[in-house]
Amino acid sequence: MFKLLLTLVIVFTNTIFVYSNHHTNTKNNVVFLKKQHFALNKKHYDDTIKPVGDTVRFADDSIKFAGDTIKKVPKVDSVSYKKSDMAFDYPVYYDAEDSLLFDFQKKKAYLYGKAVVTYESVVLNSAFIEMDFDNNEVFAFGLTDSTGALTGKPSFKDGEEEFEADTIRYNFRTKKGIIKEVMTEFEGSYLHGSKTKMQPNKDVHMINGKFTTCDLDHPHYYFSISKAKVIPNDKIVSGPAYLVIEDIPTPLGIPFGFFPNTKGGSSGLILPEFGSEDSRGYFLKNGGYYWAINDNIDLTVIGDIFSKGSWGMGILTNYKVRYKYSGSVSFKYGSNKYGYRNINQQKESNYSLQWKYTQDPKMRPNSTFSANVNISSSKFDRYNNSYNIGNALTTNKQSSIAYSKVFANSPFSITGAIRHNQNNSTGAINLTLPDISFNMSRIYPFKRKVKVGESKIYEKIGVSYTMNLTNQISTSDSTFFDIGFNNITNGISHKIPISTSAKFLKFTTITPSFNYTERWYLKSFQQSWGYATAEDTVETLNSQYISQFSRAWDYNTGVNWSTQIYGTFNFKKGSLKAIRHVVTPSVSFSYLPDFGKEKYGYYDDYSRIQYNSNTGQYDTVSTIYSRFTGLPYGSPSRGGAGSLNFNIGNNLEMKLRNKGDTVTTDKKIKLLESLSFSTSYNIMADSLNWAPVAVSGRTKIKFLDLSFNANLDPYAYAISPYDSTKAYRINTTSFSENGKLVRLTTANITAGFSLNSKSFQSPENNSNASAYETLYGNPAMYVDFNVPWNVRVNYSLGYAKPYMTSTIRQTLNVSGDFNLTKKWKISFTSGYDLVKKAATPTSIDVYRDLHCWEASLHLVPFGTYRSYMFQINVKASMLKDLKLVKRGSFYDNLFNGY
């Protein structure tokens, strides 16, 4: 109906009326409409538009003519139209919260109060909008309120493009526009322009502009540019520009600017970092080129150069295919020279290779492939990553490339892997190339297909199978490419475990088991005592591997019995309601035959003459060794074992009554989360039958976490007659030797707690009223616990005395962070070695949020790795090279004196 009324208004330009009791001047041919929504369509202006029934009627008394006494609108029959020049190609929808004013002579409409105009994908919002129907144009600007503040600034949106300005003039037909004082967002960056022209292809030309990543109307910093061109989803090109910080121009300027403006990555130069070190001199680091190859892969090439001859280079690529896989590859090489040329200069080369690959689970549901490779020279992290104390202290590196597959609708699966383990302290490298495992999950071969009644004990017999194949290489980083026969070991292992379980006396469970293991090797180990060559004059121990097929098998069997015993002590009075004690005892027996007997051929021996300092004579000493020493799956055990294993687990809890609330349940408190004792007795051994008693436990006292463990040996020890620094256990009880029932060999206690800003708060303390009462009632007692903070304290005490010499280890570590304000954050980690009386590695980090900038300080105040790094930089990744860095590397500490 409103569309029809609007059509009549446009056609009968000589008919003037006022809608909703708002009178207007009839001489100016103006219509003033109040708070309605309209749509203009080409259909309403073309040749002939026939109203329904060829009749248009106005509602009685709803419209009054200015200066007329006619109360009712005359009925109009057979209305004819002529073609209008105000024709749009698509519907134009517009609305205004306050009022809508039409000027038919000028063919314009004026929209007041939260006005909106929509044409195709273009949406224009403003406090005021002027529509020119002759020129298909809109003009929008904000209005000042009663306080003089500008409100309702126009905002323009066309698809994904959106901006706000002081004034906007836009032509719907040509799609051109002129905008003043505009701020446009492009992928996290903002472009301000005093005068801007919009082209039909959506290119933007502007003069007197500002480029920044600060989202404020008055940015903290910007590049002041004389003129610029914006190509959407491509780039921003500017003329001469200079950096302005807090409205202060800086001497940092460029003859022209080129800023990426794409949703994906964009290629470009990476600016190097400038600095200096005492050992390597002035440097330019991490400079290079970034190449955005396509949406799936990129490439970064960087390099370092030092004034004293050191240099480095690196290649990094990231790749990702959606729903398939993702990962990265990185290779770095560094050549370091330190010291003075022609005097004491030393050279050292280091390398690092990293590869990560992650398969998306949707790619192959029944199989996975993954890679996490981290290989480097032993000193790479220490010297080439000398700004990171965590990397410098790294001693072990591990790598793995793995593939696994589960065969659908079967118990079988297979896994293949390549593994790498490296010790940076010793330089030792262990490679597993490859490691293959074939598995059959547990099956029940005697289980009936159709269950009738309860299951029989033999139906619960389960069998599984595992086959492992491995090939291991032991070398070092210095001899990595010089691998010999003795560095390679391999083998195949077969394991078949069989077990079942059954209830015994209703409340206990018995679990018998049988395990068979077989090993296949392609070499065997041999040792002898004598002259290695005919020229040798001193006998030595000669060890070697002999290439031959070897087979070793063994088996063991056992049975386990376990149950749980509950004891509850109830209290009728007081806050303590009950104490519950749960005891979990278990007894198991395992039998392993003696596979060290000569008939198995798994062990051999050699003899040598050794001087006995106690008797002053030479004795013949025979040493037994395994023919499978150093091979992957070891050797069957020698001596046999028939062990009775005992374990008692304990859990202690108490329950407190809740007197104040009848709805809330009683409170449970764990006094001891666990306390266990375990030992074993070997019935087949001729001596030293009892194993040490192992004690372990943990509990929590309010916020304090406490754990402990200890080993108690019932036997005494004796000093070796051949070496006074060595000792061994003897078949004499500790009680008969020194009057002590057991001998404490190791003990460890750890205690720790975490506190934060919420630890001491209660609902009353959280209220503002309580805070103000505390502040004004007694200001000295007021502490603002609303400031976020966290503190973690750990204490560790270790004791070890296996024989004569005892050692004690005692450390205290503290770490935490707190926010001085919402924008200030300080974190720290430190500790103290109470035995060495020295501080452990300490670091302090300070962070300041500066809105569109950020500042950070990393400080290691003392020690070998004493260093610092201060950096202030722009947050946005687009301008990540806009930063100021000052650092002091601990690299100079490592080579101080060269």
Q: What tens digit of pLDDT does each residue of 134-193 get?
A: 888 899 998 888 888 888 889 888 877 788 889 999 888 888 999 988 887 777 788 888
Higher confidence at residue 526 or residue 73? 526
Residue 65: which pLDDT band, with cuts at 50, 70 and 90? very low
Average pLDDT over residues 831-842: 90
Collect all residues with Cβ–Cβ distance below 8 Å to 490 and sequence separation of at least 6: 469, 470, 471, 472, 521, 522, 523, 632
Which of 45-59, 420-434, 547-561, 767-781: highest mean pLDDT?
547-561
Q: In 3-state terms, what secondary structure has residue 766?
A: helix
Q: What angle do CA 789, 793, 797 make, to 5 degrees?
A: 175
> pLDDT class for 79, splitting at 50, 70, 90?
very low
Structure-token pair, residue 703? 């916020």
pLDDT at 442: 92
Whether this model's pTM surpasses 0.85: no
Q: Does 27 have pLDDT greater than 50?
A: no
Amino acid at 886: K
Distance from C-alpha of 512 to C-alpha of 491, rounded to nearest angstrom:
30
Stretch among 41-50, 552-561, 669-678 having the lowest mean pLDDT: 41-50
Whether residue 587 is predicted with pLDDT greater than 90 in this model: the reply is: yes
- Indicate whether 75 pLDDT > 80: no
Indicate the pLDDT class of residue 614, thresholds 50, 70 and 90.
Answer: low
Rounded distance between C-alpha atoms, residue 488 and residue 495, angstroms: 23
Residue 766 — pLDDT band, cuts 50, 70, 90? very low
User: What is the per-residue pLDDT across 488-504, written as a single tens digit (0 to 9) for each?
Assistant: 888 999 999 999 988 88
Q: Is the pLDDT reported for residue 15 higher than 70?
A: no
Average pLDDT over residues 72-82: 35
Does residue 56 surpass a pLDDT of 90? no
Query: Percent helix, strand, coil in the chain (nearest 5)?
Result: 5, 55, 35
Amino acid 327: pLDDT: 93
pLDDT in tens, 637-672: 888 888 999 999 999 998 888 766 555 677 888 888
Query: By mean pLDDT, which of 14-18, 441-445, 803-807 is the weakest?
Result: 14-18
Split at pLDDT 50, 70, 90, the class of 787 is: low
Distance CA 808, CA 278 (A): 39
Place 417 in a pLDDT band, splitting at 50, 70 and 90.
very high
Q: What does the mean pLDDT of the chain come to?
A: 80
Helix locations, 208-276, DSSP H = none
Q: Does 381 have pLDDT greater than 80?
A: no
Mean pLDDT of the 608-622 span: 75
Identify how many contiguous H helices and E strands the chain contains and give both numbers: 8, 59
Over its C-alpha atoms, the chain yields an Rg (Å, rounded) of 42
Amino acid identity for residue 32 in this structure:
F
Q: Which residue has the higher pLDDT, 236 or 697?
A: 697
Cα dihedral 65, 66, 71, 72 in deg (nearest 10) = 0
Mean pLDDT for the stretch of residues 435-445: 93
* Long-range pairs for 346-352: beta carbons < 8 A, 24 or more residues apart: 346/898, 348/379, 348/383, 349/377, 350/376, 350/377, 350/379, 350/380, 350/383, 350/384, 351/376, 351/377, 351/380, 352/376, 352/377, 352/380, 352/381, 352/384
Q: pLDDT above 90 covers what percent of the chain?
A: 29
Least confident stretch, 242-251, 312-321, 881-890: 881-890
CA atoms of 139 and 409, how far apart (whole Å): 70
Q: Give 75 or 465, the one with higher predicted confidence.
A: 465
d(CA 26, CA 14): 9
Which pLDDT band holds residue 779 (cuts at 50, 70, 90)?
Answer: very low
pLDDT at 390 over 50: yes
pLDDT at 896: 54
What is the predicted pLDDT for the residue at 16? Answer: 31
Distances (CA, A) of 450 to 411, 453, 455, 459, 679: 20, 10, 11, 12, 44
Total length of the chain: 898
Q: 680 CB contacts (<8 Å, ≥6 apart)?
A: 643, 644, 645, 646, 690, 691
- Where residue 64 falls among pLDDT bands split at 50, 70, 90? very low
Q: In this structure, is the dihedral angle defined by the CA atoms of residues 772, 776, 779 and 781, taken in order, positive or negative? A: negative
Amino acid at 632: P
**pLDDT tens figures, 729-761:** 998 998 888 888 999 999 999 999 998 877 666
Element (H, E) at 735: helix 734-738
pLDDT at 460 over 90: no
At residue 585, the pLDDT reads 93
